[in-house]
Amino acid sequence: MKFSLKSYNTFGVDARCKQLVPIDSLDSLLQALEAHSKTELFILGGGSNVLFVGDLNSTVLLNRISGIDVLEQNSEEVFVRVGAGVVWHDFVSWSVDKSLGNLENLALIPGTVGAAPMQNIGAYGEEVRSYITKVIAVSRNDGSIREFTPEECEFGYRSSIFKHALKEKYIITHVDFKLSKNRVLNSSYGAIQGLLEERMIERASIKDVFQAVIDIRKSKLPDPAEIGNAGSFFKNPIIAKSEFENLHAEWPDMVYYPAGNDHIKIPAGWLIDRLGWKGKVIGNTGCYENQALVIVNHGNATGLEIYEHAMKVQKSVKDNFGIHIEPEVNIIGL
Ligand code: FAD
Ligand code: EPU
């Protein structure tokens, strides 16, 4: 197979595919759906949440559908439709430049707008589901267009219907958002508050929070242009309170957050770190030195090597804490 996906995935894995086809409009997408059998196609945005464990016997569609259009506005909000191929951070920057709030805590998340609903991207106390008003997608089956309300998207923590019941059934072409003209900022996340105080900013603007999030992210997470990674490899596990209480008695320094009345969320990064994985290198792969939850490609690792590293980490957490940690990254070709 001829085409390398190395520069199309942030792990920098040199997997191959049959063909690479950029899609820049609804028409070009419909043409591609007609020209290929539906099982033969794989849709890719920025490649920042995929791990290719082998070559793909597929034609890869690169989503490049562009455009940010204002649909309507009132005294409180502006409603916009954004092409699925727009780079997520470019859209966030566009909104911040116009002093429109809601997305500033989600600055600098890699990838495209079309992939944002896939796992309901989130960071720094916010999730995109709060600001999505509609997801427009094309059925891979028959090319029909369907509009999903936020309820129909079944958003959850790092999840949506597109990652589960409708996995690989739809290609998202546009996403509608509501942006606020009178945003009440959410700077409650410790690190944001700390940085604003350090900068002696008392009345923070949307831009201040946006910049703080960018600076915090740059200090914590590896830049995929320098070291291959896909952000958090696993989701943070959510366990029953009773199970947590037993574990907490054994590991009193365990970091945790309440998740509803009966459940507790534990940072997977803490679990992995506590077992000595942070900074650990195995061949070409490793757990990042500043964030154990981020699995990195130290050189020319194959997708399979990265996967095997992840499975060792997963087993170690299961053996020591009895907790199953589920990959957040989409593992392709297993
Ligand atoms: P891709 O990796 O291209 O695709 C991901 C999945 O979605 C694939 O299964 C693909 O087939 C499917 N897909 C892509 N586009 C479409 C479409 N248009 N229609 C249907 N299916 C589609 N995520 C967070 O939530 N919060 C973070 O803070 C965060 N930080 C990160 C930091 C780093 C350094 C990195 C590398 C990643 C981080 N991520 C984070 C993960 C990633 O940025 C998000 O999951 C992002 O939304 C992926 O976008 P993408 O376009 O790169 O998707
Ligand atoms: N921790 C450690 N050691 C580590 C890493 C983390 O002890 O090596 C502990 C620390 O105590 C820290 C806590 O875990 O306070 C949480 O760590 P961090 O604030 O870095 O957040 P996270 O839970 O690891 C989540 C998201 C990130 C998102 C950040 C900020 C998941 C799976 N990950 O990470 O999203 O950017 O919060 O909100 O929910 C992604 O999805 O790819 C991603 C990067």
**Which amino acid would we find at residue 113?**
V
291 in contact with ligand 2, CB cutoff 6 A = yes
> What confidence score (pLDDT) does residue 258 get?
94
Q: pLDDT of 16-33, one tens digit each?
A: 999 999 999 999 999 999
122 in contact with ligand 1, CB cutoff 6 A = yes
> What confidence score (pLDDT) does residue 1 get?
67
CA-49 nearest atom, ligand 1: 2
pLDDT bucket at 38, cuts 50 / 70 / 90: confident
- What mean pLDDT is predicted for residues 232-244? 97
CA-157 nearest atom, ligand 2: 39
Q: Virtual CA dihedral for 59, 63, 65, 69, nearest 10 degrees?
A: 150
Kindly name the residue from 126, 127, 232, 305 that is annotated as catalytic.
Answer: 232
> What confidence score (pLDDT) does residue 240 get?
97
pLDDT bucket at 325, cuts 50 / 70 / 90: very high
Kindly give the distance from the C-alpha atom of residue 202 to the centroid of ligand 1, in angstroms, as a whole number. 34
232 in contact with ligand 2, CB cutoff 6 A = yes
Structural domains for the chain: 3-63 (3.30.43.10), 68-180 (3.30.465.10), 228-332 (3.90.78.10)
**Minimal-distance CA residue to ligand 2 atom 27:** 123
Q: Ligand 1: which of 118, 153, 328, 331 to mutate, judged by most atoms within 8 Å of the beta carbon? A: 118
Q: pLDDT of 120-174, one tens digit each?
A: 999 999 999 999 999 999 999 999 999 999 999 999 999 999 999 999 999 999 9
Q: pLDDT of 63-103, one tens digit each?
A: 999 999 999 999 999 999 999 999 999 999 999 999 999 99
Kindly give the distance from the C-alpha atom of residue 75 to the centroid of ligand 2, in angstroms, as a whole number. 36
Q: Mean pLDDT in the chain? A: 97
Q: At residue 37, does pLDDT exceed 90? A: no
166 in contact with ligand 2, CB cutoff 6 A = no
